[in-house]
Amino acid sequence: MVALQQRAIDVAASSATPWSALPGCRSGPHVAGGPSPPAYFIHHRLLRGDQRTARHRTIGRGWDCERAPITLACMAVKMFELLWWRPKRLEKQFAEQGIGGPPYRFFLGCLREMVSMTLEASSKPMMPQTSHNILPRVLPFYHHWKNIYGSTFLIWFGPTARLTVADPDLIREIFLSRSDVFERYESHPLVRQLEGEGLVSLRGEKWAHHRKILTPTFHSENLKQRVDQLLIPFIGRTVMDMAEKLPAVPGVEVEIDVSEWFQTVTEDAITRTAFGRSYDDGKAIFRLQSQQMEFAADAFRKVFIPGYRFLPTKKNTDSWKLEKEIKRSLIRLIGRRKEQPSGEAKDLLGLMINAASGPGARLRAPTTPSSAVTCSAAAPITVRDIVEECKTFFFAGKQTTSSLLTWATVLLSMHQEWQERARAEVLCVCGPLDIPSRDQLAKLKTLGMILNETLRLYPPAVATIRRAKEEVKLGGRRIPRGTELLIPIVAVHHDAALWGEDAAEFNPARFADGASRAARHPTAFIPFGLGARMCIGQNLALLEAKLTLAIILRRFAFRLAPSYIHAPTALVLLHPQHGAPVLFRSLGSHL
């Protein structure tokens, strides 16, 4: 086999030189400076056109027939290298460094076992219903193999090697000291459709350029102004309006699925931050994006078939139409915003447009999604970039915050003593005010502890993945180029060695001295990531969640509905598999 591989390489390397000199040959024209064609073929160049053409066609066909088996052999060798030799070679290299794992299986790797364990775990709810030990359910394959191979082991996502890393020292090295070597891996196509190709998905110089542009939107001073002038009044009013739709008769309970209910609050907040004074236009666009997310989420629940998303099925064509309408609407909005007096940009869209049309830059009236917003920077901003950033901002902001609010409400419903403590704090700090101020929100320490404990037990993203751009040493071990590193966030958050024997219990008091001192290692708490790629909107998400819960706690007592089934599951982000029905009871005159 090795001799065949070498022969194929030798033939392929030499096949493009003398034969490429033949007019009419499929290998192309002769390259200047290359070897001259043999004399035999020079002689044939003197023949009549008809004879020459016919002869060369015959030679070309003969050459194609001779080359075909060799080409197929090369392809077979290459495929065997990718699907067997390389994985087995990597498996041996890691084993020699003391890293084990389930054996690689041809083509599929560990996928069959991973899918089987995931389906088995999601087929039944957690028992008991008050348990917070969610690791065996949301990452069952990690939980299973960790008990066999330890916290650092090798798994195979098809022919791709993934090394699990749960050591906080190594995590710190990956995200901080060696972040230039470990890049974010390319997401699943369906995930990219959900999150857009914005800041979350970008890599390299383009990511750094976009991060620099977007950071002012979330800078503390800019955020304070938006919080005081826009977000607190608007979000507060939204929550109040939702609350007022519930019966205000004391003692009467109303069942609400909070996993759906909180979507409205987060959608309004993220629209205001993204579009500011163009809120109404942005709201309409994000409604379309919500429909698009439903299509993508539905596809993600099914078995992934490569290329299926390109087939003209009804759902695919509907999704394509939505995508075109979203892009057209955003492009029209960008054009209108450019024509308006700019002033000082306070929202995401304004900052992006200003960055693309500042000194030395020019924003052309776009006619297609790929029309450029020319910029003097090395990495210009395009209309497509702005469209994708808006999509990313909507997905990440809406889903992350609604997940946090959902699980916080579920936890407070389970643990009534902490609900009472949080309510007492809200009433003491905020007094009779329906909508707390920014300064009052900052004083709600107990509520902040509850939110942090929620993020620890139920992080929106249960894991994250990085990819080694080059061969690198990590913890004294050699990591080959292209190896993916799986950081199981939920496993780190539930590690008894880091959090104590009560790691699987709800205990917000562990955050009394702040997040950095809550565990035995400062890198043990990473719900928003770490380092340069830490979630840019984490402060906004926490403020929005605290404001929403403060308003609800002041007006309602709540508990889990009898129909609630405790079944956390990870579909892109962590969410309740069967919804989160909660019974709300108005406190009315008891305040």
The pLDDT tens digits of the residues spanning 501-526 come to 999 999 999 999 999 999 999 999 99
Identify whether the C-beta of residue 486 lies closer than 8 Å to the C-beta of residue 199.
no
Cβ atoms of 255 and 581 closer than 8 Å: yes
Q: Which of 170-174, 373-377, 534-538 has the highest mean pLDDT?
A: 170-174
Output the six-digit token pair for 320. 């394509």
180-189, 305-314, 364-373, 401-410, range with the lowest pLDDT = 364-373
Question: Which pLDDT band, with edges at 50, 70 and 90, does 51 fall under?
Answer: low
Q: Which domains does the chain have, with CATH numbers?
A: 2-96 (no CATH), 100-187+462-526 (3.30.43.20), 196-461+527-590 (1.10.630.10)
pLDDT level of residue 305 (50, 70, 90 thresholds): low
Q: Which two tokens stand for residue 4?
A: 């065949």
Among 95-99, 437-441, 539-543, the range with the most confident prediction by mean pLDDT is: 95-99
10-39: per-residue pLDDT in tens? 434 444 434 333 333 434 444 334 444 444
The pLDDT-based confidence of 47 (bands split at 50, 70, 90) is: very low
Cβ–Cβ < 8 Å for 435, 486 = no
Share of the chain above pLDDT 70, in %: 78
CA distance linking residue 414 with residue 559, whole number of Å: 7
- Quote the pLDDT of residue 27: 41
**What pLDDT does 56 receive?**
52
Most confident of the following: 222-236, 301-315, 524-538: 524-538
- In this prediction, residue 215 carries a pLDDT of 79
Per-residue pLDDT at 308: 66
- What is the average pLDDT score of the chain? 81
Residue 6 has pLDDT above 60, yes or no: no
Predicted pLDDT of residue 201:
82
220: Cβ contacts below 8 Å, ≥ 6 apart = 539
Q: Is the dihedral angle over the CA atoms 170, 175, 176, 181 positive or is it negative?
A: positive
Cα 523 vs. chain centroid, distance in angstroms?
21
For β-strands 160-164 and 484-487, DSSP reports them as parallel
C-beta separation of 326 from 303 below 8 A: no
| Amino acid 431: pLDDT | 87
Phi and psi at residue 562, to the nearest 5°: -55, -25
Measured distance between the N- and C-terminal CA atoms of the chain, rounded to whole angstroms:
82
pLDDT at 345: 58
Tokens of 21: 């000199």
pLDDT for 574 beyond 70: yes
535 labelled binding-site residue = yes
Dihedral angle computed from the Cα positions of residues 511, 516, 520 and 524, in that order, rounded to the nearest 10 degrees: 100
**Which of the four pLDDT bands, split at 50, 70 and 90, describes residue 464?**
very high
pLDDT > 80? residue 170? yes
* 116-125, 302-311, 316-325, 466-475: the lowest-pLDDT one: 302-311
Q: Which one is predicted more confidently, 186 or 435?
A: 435
Span 128-151, average pLDDT: 97
The runs of H, that is alpha helices, within 301-382 are 314-339, 348-356
Residue 103, classed as helix, strand or coil, is coil
pLDDT tens digits, 557-567: 999 999 999 99
- Per-residue pLDDT band at 306 (split at 50, 70, 90): low
Beta strands in 336-419 (DSSP E): 362-363, 373-374
CA nearest to 249, candidates 561, 552, 555, 549: 555
Phi/psi of residue 567, nearest 5 degrees: -145, 70
Of 203-212, 221-230, 244-253, 455-464, least confident by mean pLDDT is: 221-230
How far apart (Å, rounded) are the C-alpha atoms in residues 380 and 514? Answer: 40
User: Pick the residue with more confidence: 30 or 189?
Assistant: 189
pLDDT class of 146 with cuts at 50, 70, 90: very high
Question: Do residues 503 and 496 lie in contact, with contact meaning Cβ atoms separated by under 8 Å?
Answer: yes
Percent of the chain with pLDDT over 90: 48
